[in-house]
Amino acid sequence: MAHLFTPKKVGAYTLSHRVVLAPMTRLRTIQPGDIPSPMMADFYGQRASEGGLEIIEGVSISIVARSYLGAASFYHDGQVEGWKAIANAVHAKGGRVFMQLIHGGRQSHVEMTGGVDPVAPSVVPFEGVALTKDGFVPASPHRALDIEEIPGIIEEFRVAAQRALDAGFDGVELHGANGYLVDQFIQDGTNKRADAYGGPIENRVRFLREAVEALISVWGADRVGVRISPSGEWGGISDSNPEATFSYVAKVLNDYKIAYLHVIEPRIKGDETLHEGHAPVAVKYLRPHFTGPIIAAGGFDGASAEAIVASGDADLVAFGRHFTSNPDLPYRVKHKLPLTPYVRAGFWGGDEKHYTDFPTYEAAATA
């Protein structure tokens, strides 16, 4: 692990290793008012490490932005203390923590949006689901955003970024992946607009640009990251030429000199793993267009993570599933120790079981 466990400067910070906690929707925001629960602070504190980076699960910027019951959000002042507890838990172990900000767009239901129709760049047939008190249900019919409404959503991103700063986080990540609103604007399978936000790729990235600029206005470019999924299918997303589209996206983001570009590789489709052993491809064609740090995500283990960092195609690797059941994952990867198998049944929702009850390697050995 000669490359994974070397320091790396990422934006404003120098990390001591390159194993990143990926943002994962865990649906443990179960307190009234969508206030982060104490077990969330336990979860992130357990997985923090000296000089490591954690990226907090997609945090909805408004009520209308929500997609899943129990998902994280940050849209009122009453949530600040809950988020401070999470940031403090990571900092107590010497880690850095970014908050991922999200708008679900058409991936929602009126029960989650406060009774209003979900919004999207355009109305395109969609057979996705949202999570409500009745479980996973078909998403509600969505409507196309009026151009006059877009500045209001950009402002919600800015306000959420400010709240993250006030709560003591180290930066923010824009969720531009997995078929949520930003991704819906970028890809031509979901963006059929004929105004300044649709048509050629230069227009389709306008929403992305404005959201990034809003985050930078609060944090500065060196504490803002962006996540994309060039090969993703989750959320019914598609593009006629994803390599050209996302190469352009990478060039645009490179010009802003953001902290990092976070890329989901094609092995992952939502909550399922595809093509185990499939070689990463997106980072290879994005690397010439983005000169800053690239975080690769999607089905990595210790050996493949070391290999992609050694190759130079990526600078850091984000782990999701393995981090759920191995709170000390960087330690285990570094020392090539066996991993505790993850429990898929505990991924989305529940209590402490299969969430904060996984022991570290040393604790399990001692027991």
Q: What is the 3-state secondary structure (H, E, C) of the chain?
A: CCCCCCCEEECCEEECCCEEECCCCCCCCCEHHHECCHHHHHHHHHCCCCCCEEEEEEEECCCCCCCECCCCECCCHHHHHHHHHHHHHHHCCCCEEEEEEECCCCCCCCCCCCCCCCEECCCCCCCCEEEECCEEEECCCCEECCHHHHHHHHHHHHHHHHHHHHCCCCEEEEECCCCCHHHHHHCCCCCCCCCCCCCCHHHHCHHHHHHHHHHHHHHCHHHEEEEECCCCCCCCCCCCCHHHHHHHHHHHHHHHCCCEEEEECCCEECCEECCCCCCCCHHHHHHHHCCCCEEEECCCCHHHHHHHHHHCCCCEEEECHHHHHCCCHHHHHHCCCCCCCCCHHHCCCCCCCCCCCCCCHHHHHHC
What tens digit of pLDDT does each residue of 209-239 get?
999 999 999 999 999 999 999 988 888 999 9
Q: Does residue 276 have a pLDDT over 70?
A: no
pLDDT for position 279: 58
361 is catalytic: no
**356 or 367, greater pLDDT:** 356
pLDDT above 90: percentage of residues in the chain: 89
Band (pLDDT 50/70/90 cuts) for residue 283 is confident
Of the residues 68, 180, 248, 361, only one is catalytic, namely 180
State the CATH class of domain 8-316.
alpha beta
pLDDT for position 273: 46
Band (pLDDT 50/70/90 cuts) for residue 282 is confident
pLDDT for position 272: 47
Mean pLDDT of 39-50: 98
pTM exceeds 0.75 for this model: yes
Band (pLDDT 50/70/90 cuts) for residue 267 is low
What tens digit of pLDDT does each residue of 109-121 get?
999 999 999 999 9
Band (pLDDT 50/70/90 cuts) for residue 277 is very low
pLDDT for position 216: 98
Q: Does residue 280 have a pLDDT over 90?
A: no
